[in-house]
Structure 1
Amino acid sequence: MATARMNGRSPEAQAFRADRVIETARQLATEGGYEAVQMREVAKRARVALATLYRYYPSKDDLIRAFVDAQVRLLRADVVARPPQDANPGARAAAVFIRAFHAMTRDRGFAQAAMCIYHTPQPLGTQARPIEEGHRASFIDIAAYAAWGSGHQPTDDEYLALYLLESLLNSSVISWLNGHMTPDYVERRLWFAAARLLVEPSGPPGGGRRAD
């Protein structure tokens, strides 16, 4: 995940405002989704040199990842401040996925941009980028925290269930963006799946490996 690194050694580094750049990119996504996030327009609106922008964010995908990460941090803070109060881990985990979905329904352009960078297949023959620690693992950790609290170490099967729920959320968001599902139906799918995937016992010890 690309993040702006400012060591303060130059006026250029001191002047670079990552928060302003990220918010500018987010606004462009809101206006027109993935295609609207153009590096030249981000630089113009954020009042930074285009070369400087590329130094901190080598591509617009890196910039979009940055504002997706910012949204995930907001979700984490919200879950810590207002933890789900449902009666069982499945319902509490589902509540987190649904909060994330609600945020996307409030900003369709953001949702479309996020889905494009994480869930669009690369052209055939493209060198795959290594999976970095970032919003995916963080999002799963937020759901695990909501489901079981900070003192619980999820089992391999519990992690697997959370990754399956994340995959269901992503596919459902794409279907919603394409007009194939209503928001209510997406929520029903998430509640239904969580209730069946996150049950006790989750399976025999060591029954699966954590998805990386």
Structure 2
Amino acid sequence: MSSSSATEVAGQTGSAAQRERRRRILDATIALATEGGFDAVQMRTVADDAEVALGTLYRYFPSKIHLLVSALGREFEEAEQRTATRAIPGETPHDRVMFLLSRTTRMLQKQPKLTEAMVRAFMFADASVAGEIHEVGMRLTTMISRAITGSPEHGEATEEEAAIIRVIADVWLSALVGWVTGRSEATDVEKQIDVAVRLLLR
């Protein structure tokens, strides 16, 4: 199955039954990763826990990388929805972006095994996961764009905003990778982000 086909099947389109199966699959994936990390997410176990046939699971998600990146996308979807309903606190773009990313970082660090699994999958993803990676990137871009402007209703980012957001997102994800792989402490993530945000938004 091609990446585009897999993304279409796994997306928000389809019948209510398809969306419900997808929800159960991601719920099972997140539960397994929360308990045991990356290695605990096995396709047959996910299928059993989600009460779907193994072949059905593979039609929705061709690999555990697709599963875990999609789980990351769902985590970001929930965070992005919160920014759509209320303004992000802070007097300046720096304050608001730091509030957003610090809160999201702390949320991820409260579930270290799940975060390790999702970040590892993001690192290992190849071109076949392009659709799921794009979804994660769009959610993150929307959140940071709203933080920069201070408006939940802010639309598509300008070219300059998009360039700044890409750098901020790259620094943040790199800092998370450092924490997940044990190269840095949890507090280092926020410090690294703060430096990048101050330089880019001054």
Give the TM interval when normalised to the shorter protein. 0.7 to 0.9
Q: Are residues 1:3 and 2:10 paired?
A: yes
**What does 1:12-31 correspond to in 2, within 5 Å?**
17-31=21-35
Question: Counterparts of 1:7 and 1:79 in 2: how far apart (Å)?
Answer: 28
Are 2:29 and 2:67, in contact at CA under 8 Å, matched by a contact in 1?
yes
Quick check: 1:179 aligned with 2:186?
Answer: no
In 1, the alpha carbon distance for the partners of 2:128 and 2:54 equals 24
Q: Distance in 2 between matches of 1:117 and 1:103?
A: 18
Contact 1:31 1:109 in 2 (8 A): yes
Stretches of 4+ aligned residues off by more than 6 angstroms: none
CA RMSD in angstroms, aligned pairs only: 2.4
Q: CA deviation at 1:167?
A: 1.1
1:14-46 CA distance string (max 9 Å, x none): 696221111000011112222211110011112
Would you say the 8 A contact 1:16–1:48 is kept in 2?
no
Alignment partner, residue 110 of structure 1 = 114
How far apart, CA to CA, are the structure 2 residues paired with 1:115 and 1:16? Answer: 25
The answer as to whether partners of 1:91 and 1:195 remain within 8 angstroms in 2 is: no
Please show how residues 1-212 of structure 1 align to structure 2 within 5 Å.
1=7, 3=10, 6-7=14-15, 17-120=21-124, 128-129=127-128, 131-132=130-131, 133-148=134-149, 149=151, 150-151=153-154, 154-199=157-202
Percent sequence identity over matched residues?
25
Letter in 2 for 1:183: A
Pairwise CA distance, 1:130:
7.4
CA distance in 1, matches of 2:154, 2:125: 37
User: TM-score, normalised to structure 1's length?
Assistant: 0.78
Q: 1:130 to 1:31 in 2, by over 3 A?
A: closer
| Amino acid of the structure 1 residue aligned with 2:137 | R
The letter of the residue matching 1:80 is A
The number of residue pairs the alignment matches comes to 190
CA shift, 1:131, in A, is 3.5
Whole-Å separation in 2 of the counterparts to 1:154 and 1:183: 30
Q: For 1:152 and 1:77, how far apart are their aligned partners in 2?
A: 14
2:138 maps to a residue whose letter is A
Q: Secondary structure in 1 aligned to 2:165?
A: helix
Question: Structure 1 stretches of 5 or more lacking a match?
Answer: 123-127, 200-212
Task: Report which stretch shifted further, 20-29 or 186-195.
Answer: 186-195
Q: Bigger shift: 181-190 or 67-76?
A: 181-190
2:65–2:125 Cα contact (<8 Å) kept: no
Larger radius of gyration: 1
Give 1 or 2: higher helix fraction: 2
Secondary structure, counterpart of 1:134 in structure 2: helix
Q: Provide closer, same or farther for how the CA distance between residues 54 and 121 of structure 1 changes in structure 2, counting only shifts above 3 A.
A: closer
